[in-house]
Chain A
Amino acid sequence: MQPIFEVRNLKRAFGGLAVTNDVSLSMAPGDRVALIGPNGAGKTTFVNLVTGNLRPDSGEVRIAGEPVTGVDAIGRVRRGLVRSFQVTRLFADMTPAEHVALAVLQRSGRAGRLFGNFLGMSDVMAEVQELLGKLGLKELMHRKVSEIAYGQQRLLEIAVALALKPRVLLLDEPAAGVPQSDTGRIEQALADLPADLAVLMIEHDMDLVFRFAKRVVVLAAGAIIFDGSPSEVTKDPRVREAYLGSYANASHAA
Protein backbone atom coordinates (compact mmCIF):
# COMPACT_ATOMS: atom_id res chain seq x y z
CA MET A 1 0.00 0.00 0.00
CA GLN A 2 1.20 3.45 -0.79
CA PRO A 3 2.53 5.27 2.24
CA ILE A 4 0.32 8.14 3.37
CA PHE A 5 3.32 10.13 4.48
CA GLU A 6 6.85 10.04 3.16
CA VAL A 7 10.00 11.96 3.81
CA ARG A 8 12.93 11.33 1.49
CA ASN A 9 16.48 12.42 2.11
CA LEU A 10 15.56 15.58 3.89
CA LYS A 11 18.51 17.83 4.51
CA ARG A 12 18.81 21.18 6.22
CA ALA A 13 21.88 22.94 7.48
CA PHE A 14 22.30 26.17 9.44
CA GLY A 15 25.67 27.65 8.64
CA GLY A 16 27.89 24.62 8.54
CA LEU A 17 25.87 22.54 10.94
CA ALA A 18 23.67 19.82 9.43
CA VAL A 19 20.62 19.99 11.67
CA THR A 20 18.69 17.55 9.54
CA ASN A 21 20.99 15.07 7.94
CA ASP A 22 19.53 12.94 5.15
CA VAL A 23 16.40 11.89 7.00
CA SER A 24 14.03 9.43 5.39
CA LEU A 25 10.83 8.17 6.91
CA SER A 26 7.68 6.58 5.65
CA MET A 27 4.31 6.01 7.29
CA ALA A 28 1.21 4.07 6.33
CA PRO A 29 -2.35 4.92 7.36
CA GLY A 30 -2.97 3.80 10.93
CA ASP A 31 0.71 3.87 11.92
CA ARG A 32 1.56 4.84 15.45
CA VAL A 33 5.11 6.13 15.41
CA ALA A 34 7.04 7.83 18.18
CA LEU A 35 9.95 10.10 17.35
CA ILE A 36 12.42 10.36 20.16
CA GLY A 37 15.92 11.62 20.59
CA PRO A 38 18.18 13.52 22.95
CA ASN A 39 17.84 17.29 23.23
CA GLY A 40 19.29 19.08 20.25
CA ALA A 41 18.76 16.07 18.00
CA GLY A 42 16.78 18.19 15.58
CA LYS A 43 13.26 17.00 16.26
CA THR A 44 11.73 20.47 16.19
CA THR A 45 13.58 21.34 12.99
CA PHE A 46 12.31 18.13 11.47
CA VAL A 47 8.73 19.00 12.36
CA ASN A 48 9.12 22.50 10.93
CA LEU A 49 10.58 21.11 7.72
CA VAL A 50 7.77 18.63 7.36
CA THR A 51 4.99 21.12 8.08
CA GLY A 52 6.39 23.67 5.68
CA ASN A 53 7.47 26.28 8.20
CA LEU A 54 11.08 25.79 7.19
CA ARG A 55 12.42 25.16 3.74
CA PRO A 56 14.81 22.22 3.33
CA ASP A 57 18.08 22.45 1.47
CA SER A 58 17.18 19.26 -0.37
CA GLY A 59 14.88 16.31 -0.10
CA GLU A 60 11.21 15.59 -0.52
CA VAL A 61 8.06 15.44 1.51
CA ARG A 62 5.05 13.56 0.18
CA ILE A 63 1.50 13.24 1.35
CA ALA A 64 -0.37 10.26 -0.14
CA GLY A 65 2.20 10.11 -2.88
CA GLU A 66 1.83 13.76 -3.83
CA PRO A 67 5.04 15.80 -3.46
CA VAL A 68 4.38 18.78 -1.24
CA THR A 69 7.90 20.09 -0.85
CA GLY A 70 6.98 23.19 -2.80
CA VAL A 71 3.68 23.67 -1.03
CA ASP A 72 3.49 26.18 1.80
CA ALA A 73 2.41 25.37 5.34
CA ILE A 74 -1.21 26.32 4.75
CA GLY A 75 -1.41 24.10 1.70
CA ARG A 76 -0.02 21.14 3.59
CA VAL A 77 -2.65 21.50 6.28
CA ARG A 78 -5.30 21.47 3.61
CA ARG A 79 -3.80 18.30 2.20
CA GLY A 80 -4.18 16.59 5.52
CA LEU A 81 -0.92 17.18 7.38
CA VAL A 82 -1.79 18.64 10.77
CA ARG A 83 0.33 19.34 13.79
CA SER A 84 -0.25 20.17 17.40
CA PHE A 85 2.08 22.47 19.29
CA GLN A 86 4.42 21.59 22.10
CA VAL A 87 3.66 24.84 23.87
CA THR A 88 -0.06 25.37 23.68
CA ARG A 89 -1.05 27.95 21.12
CA LEU A 90 -4.66 28.68 21.71
CA PHE A 91 -6.72 31.85 21.64
CA ALA A 92 -7.07 32.93 25.24
CA ASP A 93 -10.31 34.81 24.71
CA MET A 94 -12.10 32.18 22.67
CA THR A 95 -13.89 29.10 23.92
CA PRO A 96 -13.18 25.45 23.08
CA ALA A 97 -16.38 25.45 21.05
CA GLU A 98 -15.15 28.40 19.02
CA HIS A 99 -11.76 26.80 18.49
CA VAL A 100 -13.15 23.55 17.19
CA ALA A 101 -15.84 25.32 15.20
CA LEU A 102 -13.24 27.49 13.53
CA ALA A 103 -11.27 24.41 12.55
CA VAL A 104 -14.38 22.69 11.24
CA LEU A 105 -15.42 25.77 9.30
CA GLN A 106 -11.96 26.17 7.85
CA ARG A 107 -11.91 22.57 6.77
CA SER A 108 -15.27 22.83 5.10
CA GLY A 109 -14.34 26.07 3.41
CA ARG A 110 -16.77 28.21 5.35
CA ALA A 111 -14.35 30.16 7.50
CA GLY A 112 -14.65 33.13 5.20
CA ARG A 113 -18.41 33.42 5.55
CA LEU A 114 -19.47 36.92 6.38
CA PHE A 115 -22.85 36.13 7.84
CA GLY A 116 -24.23 33.52 10.14
CA ASN A 117 -22.94 32.26 13.42
CA PHE A 118 -21.53 28.83 14.07
CA LEU A 119 -23.83 28.32 17.04
CA GLY A 120 -26.68 28.22 14.59
CA MET A 121 -25.07 25.76 12.19
CA SER A 122 -26.28 22.35 13.21
CA ASP A 123 -23.71 20.28 11.33
CA VAL A 124 -20.85 22.33 12.76
CA MET A 125 -22.25 22.13 16.27
CA ALA A 126 -22.75 18.38 15.92
CA GLU A 127 -19.07 17.91 15.13
CA VAL A 128 -18.04 20.31 17.88
CA GLN A 129 -20.08 18.46 20.44
CA GLU A 130 -18.88 15.07 19.30
CA LEU A 131 -15.20 15.97 19.36
CA LEU A 132 -15.30 17.86 22.63
CA GLY A 133 -17.38 15.06 24.13
CA LYS A 134 -14.83 12.45 23.13
CA LEU A 135 -12.12 14.45 24.84
CA GLY A 136 -14.16 15.20 27.93
CA LEU A 137 -14.33 18.94 27.31
CA LYS A 138 -18.06 19.25 26.75
CA GLU A 139 -18.86 20.97 30.05
CA LEU A 140 -16.19 23.56 29.35
CA MET A 141 -17.08 24.22 25.77
CA HIS A 142 -18.32 27.75 26.37
CA ARG A 143 -15.66 28.81 28.83
CA LYS A 144 -12.79 30.97 27.75
CA VAL A 145 -9.57 29.05 27.23
CA SER A 146 -7.78 31.29 29.69
CA GLU A 147 -10.10 29.86 32.36
CA ILE A 148 -9.53 26.15 31.80
CA ALA A 149 -6.75 23.97 33.17
CA TYR A 150 -3.55 23.36 31.25
CA GLY A 151 -4.24 19.65 30.85
CA GLN A 152 -7.57 20.49 29.27
CA GLN A 153 -5.90 22.99 26.98
CA ARG A 154 -3.59 20.24 25.74
CA LEU A 155 -6.67 18.13 25.04
CA LEU A 156 -8.17 21.03 23.14
CA GLU A 157 -5.05 21.19 20.99
CA ILE A 158 -5.68 17.60 20.02
CA ALA A 159 -9.36 18.33 19.42
CA VAL A 160 -8.55 21.20 17.09
CA ALA A 161 -6.11 19.02 15.18
CA LEU A 162 -8.69 16.26 14.84
CA ALA A 163 -11.35 18.70 13.70
CA LEU A 164 -9.27 19.31 10.62
CA LYS A 165 -9.76 15.61 9.68
CA PRO A 166 -6.05 15.03 9.06
CA ARG A 167 -4.55 12.12 7.24
CA VAL A 168 -1.25 12.55 9.04
CA LEU A 169 -1.09 13.94 12.55
CA LEU A 170 2.10 15.28 14.12
CA LEU A 171 1.79 15.50 17.88
CA ASP A 172 4.54 17.59 19.43
CA GLU A 173 4.91 16.40 23.03
CA PRO A 174 1.18 16.15 23.75
CA ALA A 175 1.78 15.47 27.42
CA ALA A 176 4.38 18.17 27.97
CA GLY A 177 3.75 20.29 31.03
CA VAL A 178 0.68 18.32 32.01
CA PRO A 179 0.42 17.26 35.65
CA GLN A 180 0.51 13.51 36.30
CA SER A 181 -3.17 13.46 37.22
CA ASP A 182 -4.19 14.57 33.74
CA THR A 183 -1.93 12.45 31.56
CA GLY A 184 -4.40 9.59 31.77
CA ARG A 185 -6.97 11.63 29.89
CA ILE A 186 -4.45 12.44 27.19
CA GLU A 187 -3.41 8.84 26.87
CA GLN A 188 -7.05 7.89 26.49
CA ALA A 189 -7.44 10.51 23.79
CA LEU A 190 -4.42 9.12 21.98
CA ALA A 191 -5.81 5.61 22.21
CA ASP A 192 -9.09 6.84 20.74
CA LEU A 193 -7.53 8.43 17.69
CA PRO A 194 -9.05 7.30 14.39
CA ALA A 195 -7.66 3.96 13.35
CA ASP A 196 -6.81 5.01 9.81
CA LEU A 197 -4.96 8.12 10.90
CA ALA A 198 -1.16 8.03 10.68
CA VAL A 199 0.22 9.52 13.86
CA LEU A 200 3.76 10.67 14.52
CA MET A 201 4.31 11.62 18.12
CA ILE A 202 7.33 13.42 19.49
CA GLU A 203 7.77 12.71 23.12
CA HIS A 204 10.24 12.58 25.97
CA ASP A 205 7.98 10.66 28.31
CA MET A 206 9.15 7.12 27.65
CA ASP A 207 6.23 5.52 29.48
CA LEU A 208 3.86 7.22 27.11
CA VAL A 209 6.01 6.23 24.16
CA PHE A 210 5.98 2.58 25.01
CA ARG A 211 2.26 2.50 25.67
CA PHE A 212 1.39 4.37 22.52
CA ALA A 213 3.84 3.50 19.79
CA LYS A 214 4.00 0.48 17.54
CA ARG A 215 7.18 1.81 16.06
CA VAL A 216 9.95 4.03 17.39
CA VAL A 217 12.24 6.28 15.40
CA VAL A 218 15.30 7.72 17.10
CA LEU A 219 16.81 10.95 15.89
CA ALA A 220 20.29 11.94 17.03
CA ALA A 221 22.44 14.78 15.69
CA GLY A 222 20.02 15.24 12.83
CA ALA A 223 20.09 11.68 11.56
CA ILE A 224 17.88 8.67 12.15
CA ILE A 225 19.84 6.06 14.01
CA PHE A 226 17.03 3.62 14.68
CA ASP A 227 13.68 2.79 13.14
CA GLY A 228 12.04 -0.29 14.58
CA SER A 229 9.94 -1.82 17.29
CA PRO A 230 9.74 -0.43 20.81
CA SER A 231 11.05 -3.64 22.28
CA GLU A 232 14.24 -3.38 20.24
CA VAL A 233 15.00 0.27 20.79
CA THR A 234 16.38 0.00 24.30
CA LYS A 235 18.73 -2.75 23.28
CA ASP A 236 20.18 -0.98 20.27
CA PRO A 237 23.78 0.02 20.99
CA ARG A 238 23.66 3.14 18.88
CA VAL A 239 20.63 4.41 20.74
CA ARG A 240 22.22 3.72 24.09
CA GLU A 241 25.29 5.58 22.98
CA ALA A 242 23.27 8.55 21.74
CA TYR A 243 21.48 8.89 25.02
CA LEU A 244 24.53 8.09 27.10
CA GLY A 245 22.39 6.13 29.40
CA SER A 246 20.18 9.11 30.24
CA TYR A 247 16.96 7.12 29.89
CA ALA A 248 17.44 4.69 32.73
CA ASN A 249 13.74 3.83 32.85
CA ALA A 250 13.73 2.63 29.23
CA SER A 251 14.65 -0.86 30.36
CA HIS A 252 11.47 -1.55 32.33
CA ALA A 253 9.12 -1.29 29.33
CA ALA A 254 10.55 -4.32 27.54
Chain B
Amino acid sequence: MSRYTEAKNTFIDEIDLDAYIDLESSRASYDQLAHSFKKSLKIVLVFGQPGTGKSLLLNRIYRDKRQQRELYFFDTPIMHKKVFFSKLFNILTKQELPQDSSIDFETFIEYLKSQKGKREIIILLDEAQMYPEVILEKIRVLSDTGVIKFVISLHQTEDEDLIAKEHFQSRIWETIELKNATKNELKTYIYKKLLMREQFELANQIKDRHCALLYKYTLGNYREINKMIYTVFEIYEYYDKNNPHKIKHDTFSTKIIEMAAIKLGYIHV
Protein backbone atom coordinates (compact mmCIF):
# COMPACT_ATOMS: atom_id res chain seq x y z
CA MET B 1 0.00 0.00 0.00
CA SER B 2 1.30 3.43 -0.95
CA ARG B 3 2.22 5.69 1.92
CA TYR B 4 -0.26 8.18 0.51
CA THR B 5 -3.05 5.61 0.70
CA GLU B 6 -2.15 4.95 4.30
CA ALA B 7 -2.10 8.68 5.07
CA LYS B 8 -5.38 9.19 3.21
CA ASN B 9 -7.13 6.53 5.25
CA THR B 10 -6.04 8.25 8.44
CA PHE B 11 -8.30 11.15 7.58
CA ILE B 12 -11.48 9.25 6.77
CA ASP B 13 -14.16 11.19 8.60
CA GLU B 14 -15.53 8.58 10.97
CA ILE B 15 -15.77 8.21 14.69
CA ASP B 16 -12.76 6.13 15.52
CA LEU B 17 -12.09 6.35 19.22
CA ASP B 18 -8.75 4.65 18.82
CA ALA B 19 -7.65 7.33 16.39
CA TYR B 20 -8.76 10.10 18.70
CA ILE B 21 -6.35 13.06 18.87
CA ASP B 22 -6.09 14.62 22.27
CA LEU B 23 -6.02 18.39 21.89
CA GLU B 24 -6.07 20.93 24.67
CA SER B 25 -9.52 22.31 23.87
CA SER B 26 -11.14 18.90 23.43
CA ARG B 27 -9.57 17.73 26.69
CA ALA B 28 -11.12 20.72 28.46
CA SER B 29 -14.56 19.91 27.01
CA TYR B 30 -14.22 16.29 28.04
CA ASP B 31 -13.26 17.21 31.60
CA GLN B 32 -16.14 19.67 31.81
CA LEU B 33 -18.64 17.07 30.68
CA ALA B 34 -17.23 14.40 32.98
CA HIS B 35 -17.40 16.84 35.88
CA SER B 36 -21.04 17.72 35.07
CA PHE B 37 -22.02 14.09 35.71
CA LYS B 38 -21.28 14.61 39.36
CA LYS B 39 -23.65 17.53 39.65
CA SER B 40 -27.39 17.44 40.32
CA LEU B 41 -29.29 15.81 37.53
CA LYS B 42 -31.05 17.85 34.86
CA ILE B 43 -29.81 18.67 31.35
CA VAL B 44 -26.36 19.29 29.92
CA LEU B 45 -26.16 21.02 26.57
CA VAL B 46 -23.27 20.27 24.23
CA PHE B 47 -23.32 22.55 21.24
CA GLY B 48 -21.14 23.72 18.40
CA GLN B 49 -21.00 23.89 14.66
CA PRO B 50 -21.15 20.64 12.70
CA GLY B 51 -17.71 19.07 12.60
CA THR B 52 -16.44 20.41 15.90
CA GLY B 53 -16.42 16.99 17.59
CA LYS B 54 -19.70 16.77 19.51
CA SER B 55 -20.43 13.18 18.53
CA LEU B 56 -16.86 12.17 19.20
CA LEU B 57 -17.03 13.72 22.64
CA LEU B 58 -20.24 11.83 23.50
CA ASN B 59 -18.76 8.61 22.16
CA ARG B 60 -15.60 9.01 24.20
CA ILE B 61 -17.38 9.82 27.42
CA TYR B 62 -19.75 6.89 26.86
CA ARG B 63 -16.86 4.49 26.31
CA ASP B 64 -14.94 5.76 29.33
CA LYS B 65 -17.74 6.18 31.86
CA ARG B 66 -20.28 3.49 31.09
CA GLN B 67 -18.64 1.06 33.49
CA GLN B 68 -18.79 3.59 36.31
CA ARG B 69 -22.26 5.04 35.77
CA GLU B 70 -25.64 4.05 34.45
CA LEU B 71 -24.93 5.62 31.10
CA TYR B 72 -26.82 5.20 27.81
CA PHE B 73 -26.08 6.60 24.40
CA PHE B 74 -28.71 7.34 21.73
CA ASP B 75 -26.33 7.98 18.85
CA THR B 76 -29.02 8.23 16.19
CA PRO B 77 -32.10 10.39 16.59
CA ILE B 78 -35.36 8.62 17.34
CA MET B 79 -38.25 10.00 15.39
CA HIS B 80 -41.17 8.07 16.89
CA LYS B 81 -42.46 8.57 20.37
CA LYS B 82 -43.26 4.89 20.72
CA VAL B 83 -39.73 3.79 19.88
CA PHE B 84 -38.31 6.38 22.25
CA PHE B 85 -40.44 5.16 25.15
CA SER B 86 -39.74 1.57 24.28
CA LYS B 87 -36.05 2.34 24.68
CA LEU B 88 -36.62 4.13 27.96
CA PHE B 89 -38.68 1.21 29.19
CA ASN B 90 -35.82 -1.10 28.34
CA ILE B 91 -33.34 1.11 30.19
CA LEU B 92 -35.47 1.27 33.32
CA THR B 93 -36.73 -2.29 33.49
CA LYS B 94 -34.03 -4.10 31.52
CA GLN B 95 -36.90 -5.71 29.64
CA GLU B 96 -38.28 -5.33 26.16
CA LEU B 97 -41.62 -3.59 25.85
CA PRO B 98 -44.18 -6.23 24.82
CA GLN B 99 -45.47 -5.86 21.31
CA ASP B 100 -48.84 -4.14 20.85
CA SER B 101 -48.47 -2.48 24.24
CA SER B 102 -47.95 1.20 24.93
CA ILE B 103 -46.67 3.24 27.81
CA ASP B 104 -48.80 5.52 29.84
CA PHE B 105 -46.59 8.58 30.26
CA GLU B 106 -47.98 9.65 33.64
CA THR B 107 -47.51 6.20 35.11
CA PHE B 108 -44.00 6.23 33.71
CA ILE B 109 -43.25 9.53 35.43
CA GLU B 110 -44.63 8.21 38.72
CA TYR B 111 -42.40 5.18 38.41
CA LEU B 112 -39.37 7.35 37.79
CA LYS B 113 -40.13 9.47 40.83
CA SER B 114 -40.20 6.33 42.91
CA GLN B 115 -36.64 5.63 41.73
CA LYS B 116 -35.30 8.99 42.94
CA GLY B 117 -32.25 8.53 45.12
CA LYS B 118 -31.97 4.91 44.06
CA ARG B 119 -30.83 5.34 40.48
CA GLU B 120 -28.98 8.02 38.51
CA ILE B 121 -29.45 7.49 34.80
CA ILE B 122 -27.59 9.53 32.23
CA ILE B 123 -28.77 9.47 28.64
CA LEU B 124 -26.59 10.93 25.92
CA LEU B 125 -28.63 12.21 22.97
CA ASP B 126 -26.67 12.99 19.85
CA GLU B 127 -28.14 15.18 17.12
CA ALA B 128 -30.92 16.29 19.43
CA GLN B 129 -32.02 18.99 17.02
CA MET B 130 -33.47 16.20 14.88
CA TYR B 131 -35.84 14.93 17.54
CA PRO B 132 -39.49 15.83 17.01
CA GLU B 133 -40.82 18.49 19.28
CA VAL B 134 -43.17 16.10 21.03
CA ILE B 135 -40.23 13.96 22.19
CA LEU B 136 -38.25 17.03 23.24
CA GLU B 137 -41.17 18.05 25.42
CA LYS B 138 -41.24 14.58 27.04
CA ILE B 139 -37.49 14.77 27.63
CA ARG B 140 -37.98 18.06 29.47
CA VAL B 141 -40.61 16.51 31.75
CA LEU B 142 -38.52 13.38 32.28
CA SER B 143 -35.52 15.48 33.32
CA ASP B 144 -37.71 17.15 35.95
CA THR B 145 -38.08 13.85 37.79
CA GLY B 146 -34.43 14.13 38.82
CA VAL B 147 -33.80 10.49 37.94
CA ILE B 148 -32.75 10.84 34.33
CA LYS B 149 -30.16 13.35 33.26
CA PHE B 150 -29.94 14.13 29.56
CA VAL B 151 -26.80 15.22 27.78
CA ILE B 152 -28.04 16.64 24.54
CA SER B 153 -25.86 17.56 21.65
CA LEU B 154 -27.14 20.26 19.30
CA HIS B 155 -25.89 21.97 16.20
CA GLN B 156 -25.28 25.61 16.78
CA THR B 157 -27.68 27.45 14.55
CA GLU B 158 -30.23 30.09 15.36
CA ASP B 159 -33.17 27.73 15.02
CA GLU B 160 -31.53 25.02 17.05
CA ASP B 161 -30.65 27.50 19.74
CA LEU B 162 -34.33 28.28 19.83
CA ILE B 163 -35.19 24.65 20.41
CA ALA B 164 -32.73 24.54 23.26
CA LYS B 165 -34.04 27.77 24.64
CA GLU B 166 -37.70 26.84 24.49
CA HIS B 167 -37.47 23.34 25.82
CA PHE B 168 -34.45 23.17 27.99
CA GLN B 169 -33.09 26.52 29.00
CA SER B 170 -34.56 26.59 32.48
CA ARG B 171 -33.26 23.07 33.07
CA ILE B 172 -29.85 23.30 31.50
CA TRP B 173 -27.30 22.71 34.16
CA GLU B 174 -24.18 22.88 32.12
CA THR B 175 -23.38 24.25 28.69
CA ILE B 176 -20.37 23.00 26.77
CA GLU B 177 -19.46 24.76 23.57
CA LEU B 178 -17.18 23.07 21.08
CA LYS B 179 -15.25 25.25 18.68
CA ASN B 180 -13.22 24.86 15.53
CA ALA B 181 -9.49 24.24 15.82
CA THR B 182 -7.08 27.13 16.02
CA LYS B 183 -4.17 27.27 13.55
CA ASN B 184 -1.89 25.63 16.08
CA GLU B 185 -4.44 22.96 16.90
CA LEU B 186 -4.90 22.24 13.22
CA LYS B 187 -1.17 21.70 12.85
CA THR B 188 -1.01 19.49 15.94
CA TYR B 189 -4.06 17.55 14.77
CA ILE B 190 -2.57 16.77 11.36
CA TYR B 191 0.84 15.91 12.81
CA LYS B 192 -0.55 13.62 15.47
CA LYS B 193 -2.87 11.90 13.02
CA LEU B 194 0.04 11.16 10.68
CA LEU B 195 2.39 10.15 13.46
CA MET B 196 -0.24 7.75 14.76
CA ARG B 197 0.12 5.88 11.48
CA GLU B 198 3.89 6.28 11.61
CA GLN B 199 3.93 8.64 8.66
CA PHE B 200 6.86 10.61 10.09
CA GLU B 201 8.24 11.64 6.74
CA LEU B 202 4.95 13.05 5.51
CA ALA B 203 4.32 14.79 8.82
CA ASN B 204 7.69 16.53 8.57
CA GLN B 205 6.93 17.70 5.06
CA ILE B 206 3.88 19.65 6.20
CA LYS B 207 5.11 23.12 7.08
CA ASP B 208 3.45 26.12 8.66
CA ARG B 209 2.60 27.63 5.29
CA HIS B 210 0.72 24.48 4.33
CA CYS B 211 -1.18 24.54 7.60
CA ALA B 212 -1.99 28.22 7.07
CA LEU B 213 -3.38 27.39 3.65
CA LEU B 214 -5.39 24.47 5.01
CA TYR B 215 -6.72 26.70 7.76
CA LYS B 216 -7.70 29.32 5.21
CA TYR B 217 -9.95 26.84 3.45
CA THR B 218 -11.26 24.79 6.36
CA LEU B 219 -11.40 27.49 9.07
CA GLY B 220 -10.26 24.81 11.49
CA ASN B 221 -13.39 22.70 11.23
CA TYR B 222 -12.31 19.13 11.95
CA ARG B 223 -14.70 17.59 9.46
CA GLU B 224 -13.49 19.94 6.76
CA ILE B 225 -9.85 19.31 7.69
CA ASN B 226 -10.39 15.58 7.38
CA LYS B 227 -12.09 16.02 4.03
CA MET B 228 -9.38 18.30 2.77
CA ILE B 229 -6.40 16.19 3.82
CA TYR B 230 -8.12 13.06 2.62
CA THR B 231 -8.53 14.66 -0.82
CA VAL B 232 -4.95 15.94 -0.83
CA PHE B 233 -3.59 12.45 -0.20
CA GLU B 234 -6.02 10.97 -2.68
CA ILE B 235 -4.56 13.24 -5.37
CA TYR B 236 -1.06 12.31 -4.22
CA GLU B 237 -2.05 8.68 -4.38
CA TYR B 238 -3.21 9.11 -7.97
CA TYR B 239 0.01 10.78 -9.04
CA ASP B 240 2.07 8.23 -7.19
CA LYS B 241 0.37 5.44 -9.10
CA ASN B 242 0.06 7.03 -12.53
CA ASN B 243 2.50 9.91 -12.89
CA PRO B 244 5.05 9.67 -10.11
CA HIS B 245 7.40 12.10 -11.90
CA LYS B 246 4.79 14.84 -11.52
CA ILE B 247 5.12 15.07 -7.76
CA LYS B 248 8.03 15.73 -5.46
CA HIS B 249 8.24 12.99 -2.89
CA ASP B 250 10.28 14.94 -0.40
CA THR B 251 8.19 18.10 -0.14
CA PHE B 252 4.53 18.79 0.42
CA SER B 253 2.86 20.59 -2.43
CA THR B 254 0.84 23.77 -2.21
CA LYS B 255 -0.39 23.04 -5.69
CA ILE B 256 -2.02 19.82 -4.55
CA ILE B 257 -3.64 21.57 -1.60
CA GLU B 258 -5.07 24.08 -4.04
CA MET B 259 -6.19 21.31 -6.37
CA ALA B 260 -7.97 19.65 -3.45
CA ALA B 261 -9.55 22.99 -2.56
CA ILE B 262 -10.80 23.32 -6.13
CA LYS B 263 -12.14 19.79 -6.04
CA LEU B 264 -13.98 20.39 -2.77
CA GLY B 265 -15.38 23.72 -3.87
CA TYR B 266 -13.36 25.98 -1.59
CA ILE B 267 -11.91 27.62 -4.67
CA HIS B 268 -14.22 28.55 -7.50
CA VAL B 269 -12.48 28.67 -10.84
Q: Do A and B come from one complex?
A: no
